[in-house]
Structure 1
Amino acid sequence: MAPPRLRGMLNIGLQLMITVGIFSANLVNYGAAKIGGGWGWRVSLGLAAVPACIIAVGSLFLPDTPNSLISRGLHEQARRVLRRIRGTDDIADEYDDLVAASEVSCSSVTVRRRPWRDILERRYRPQLTMAVLIPFFQQLTGINVIMFYAPVLFKTIGLGGDASLMSAVITGLVNIVATFVSIAAVDSLGRRKLLFQGGCQMLVCQVIIGTLIGVVFGGSGEDGTTIPRAFAVCVVVFICVYVAGFAWSWGPLGILLPSEIFPLEVRPAGQSISVAVNMLCTFAVAEAFLPMLCHMRFGLFYFFSGWVLVMTLFVAAFLPETKKVPIEKMTVVWKTHWFWGRFATDQQGAHTDVAHSKVQTSNNIDV
């Protein structure tokens, strides 16, 4: 529903709300930890029902997108929703473009309502690769290690229980503030610059954090070892810098990029694959972290820094810039790329040319 010039900013609003939710959860945990009688963790888990109820009730009032309504033949409802989200009755041109794009998607000889089969075709190979690797890389930045287990991690490096929870609250606040930076910069600087800069920042921070912890603990991991206060403060500072780098790069853009690279005919399958990979990797990292921390100690940060190096080089070589490119013209981005261009077949180009000829004012919309 977002216009191309604001698509990045509006999409990252999702990530902003996620960071607010994480910060709120950290505050709840910090307060619940002070409840005596062993009830704190019950209160913490029970309060998760509140946002769940809000989501359930709110979903009853959430409208479908105009594009979805048009594809199902509900044209009058589509017009009403479009007027509502644009705040004007002057929606004729945009509505006609949406109808034309929907007709192209539904009437193409190569599109037979088989998005899960079609997405495996060679011409969609670049988008499918990004839909898998971007969420995969996002989780291997190590951010979930920080955000899920910050209290455990901080306690491991020598901070007390309350101090570790407060440090987790601080990182949550940094996460929120840095996300605003991404909102302000993503549609001007572009996706590639933010991802590359954020990757370099996270790489440096993880190497420094691993080295600081390694200097104190070494490889033995003996119980009772405590980290000097100055070292603990340095670790917390660099973790905050690391979180900031993630929050204005791989955090929001890991959600934004898969949402804007797929053509209409395979977008449901592409989005589903991206979300599924994200959830699977989140689960795997969450389950593996504690055993890895016990065995690898400070080497865990070197492990994730190695992945950050790989994903940063991947972005520099293989990710095209997509800022301000209308969704229906996104195919051109892949056709002109030095590597992915070889996957753009003549059949795809012909299909894209038909779409462009039917959509006359696409610069004003986001199909």
Structure 2
Amino acid sequence: MFYAPVLFKTLGFEDDASLMSAVVTGLVNVFATVVSILVVDRFGRRVLFLEGGIQMLACQIGVGVLIACVFGVSGNGTFSKGLGNLALALICIYVAAFAWSWGPLGWLVPSEIHPMEIRSAGQSINVSVNMFFTFVIGQLFLSMLCHMKFGLFFFFGGWVLLMTLFVYFFVPETRNVPIEEMNRVWKAHWFWGKYIPDDAVGLSHKSSGHDA
């Protein structure tokens, strides 16, 4: 988001147009985040993660193909007005998908999946890792764009695919699940259940019963 004006200018937008396009994507981000707030408890976390991941992947591939066709490996080319608007639309659709799925849920779900005993430590690690990779990407994005060109969008698209597959196979639904019951959810999971001892579920159940 913070490199949006540079990205649009790189794609051939004029200065005013690149700044206005960045404003448009920012507004899309705000409205899509509101959508997430309204629907997350109705449809659940996994649905938004998976839908958002698929939408983000499609947009990454679309922008990558578009830039490859116009600029090629040399990086020389010019977007027509129609293709420029198409690129802007794809980026806005991508931003919307991120803002109602991976953006806010990347903070919400970690706060729901950790048992009470390790919740503070788990959240601390989550925030630290998030900030670290935000810093790394922020420092490297422009250099990667210059060297990888359209390949950068396929690179990030590959990561989006891995993230979405990880959620599909390994992240349980946490909607309407009390934190005290998360050990039971993990125990019932086809993969993580192998690593959750039976007494952890029992302790979780006793803790919730005591609190009640």
Instruction: Report the TM-score range of the alignment, normalised by the length of the smaller protein.
Output: over 0.9
Residue of structure 2 in register with 1:237 after alignment: 89
Q: Which amino acid aligns with 2:70?
A: V
Following TM superposition, where does structure 1 have runs of at least 4 consecutive aligned residues deviating by more than 4 angstroms? none
Identity, % of aligned pairs?
58
CA distance in 2, matches of 1:316, 1:346: 25
Q: Which amino acid aligns with 1:345?
A: P
CA distance in 2, matches of 1:283, 1:229: 33
Indicate yes or no: 2:132 matched with 1:284: no
Residue of structure 2 in register with 1:196 after alignment: 50
Deviation at 1:357, TM superposition (A): 2.7
**Gap regions ≥5 residues in structure 2:** none
- Tell me the SS of whatever aligns to 1:148: coil
Deviation at 1:230, TM superposition (A): 0.9
Deviation at 1:353, TM superposition (A): 2.9
Residue of structure 2 in register with 1:185 after alignment: 39
Picking from 170, 175, 184, the partner of 2:24 is 170
Residue of structure 2 in register with 1:301 after alignment: 153
Q: Which amino acid aligns with 2:7?
A: L
Deviation at 1:356, TM superposition (A): 2.8
CA distance in 1, matches of 2:11, 2:192: 45
Deviation at 1:273, TM superposition (A): 0.2
Matches within 5 A, 1:3-42: none
1:232-252 CA-to-partner distances (Å, cap 9, x unmatched) read 110001100111111111011
Report the count of equivalent residues. 212
CA distance in 2, matches of 1:237, 1:211: 14
Deviation at 1:352, TM superposition (A): 1.5
1:244-285 CA-to-partner distances (Å, cap 9, x unmatched) read 111111011001011111122211111110000000000110
CA distance in 1, matches of 2:145, 2:187: 44
CA distance in 1, matches of 2:123, 2:48: 22
Residue of structure 1 in register with 2:59 after alignment: 205
1:201-221 CA-to-partner distances (Å, cap 9, x unmatched) read 001111011111111100011
Q: Which amino acid aligns with 2:87?
A: V
Residue of structure 1 in register with 2:68 after alignment: 214
Deviation at 1:296, TM superposition (A): 0.6
TM-score normalized by structure 2? 0.97
Deviation at 1:184, TM superposition (A): 1.1
CA distance in 1, matches of 2:63, 2:27: 20
- Tell me the SS of whatever aligns to 1:353: helix
Residue of structure 2 in register with 1:122 after alignment: none
Residue of structure 1 in register with 2:165 after alignment: 313
Residue of structure 2 in register with 1:347 after alignment: 199
Deviation at 1:156, TM superposition (A): 0.5
Residue of structure 1 in register with 2:7 after alignment: 153
Picking from 176, 179, 187, the partner of 1:335 is 187
CA distance in 1, matches of 2:209, 2:108: 27
Deviation at 1:165, TM superposition (A): 0.7
TM-score normalized by structure 1? 0.57
CA distance in 2, matches of 1:356, 1:259: 17
Deviation at 1:291, TM superposition (A): 1.0
- Tell me the SS of whatever aligns to 1:219: coil
1:318-339 CA-to-partner distances (Å, cap 9, x unmatched) read 1100001111112111011111
CA distance in 1, matches of 2:189, 2:56: 27
Q: Which has the larger radius of gyration?
A: 1
Structure 1 or 2: more helix by fraction: 2
Deviation at 1:359, TM superposition (A): 2.3
Q: Which amino acid aligns with 1:314?
A: F
For the aligned residues, what is the CA RMSD? 1.0
Matches within 5 A, 1:33-182: 147-182=1-36
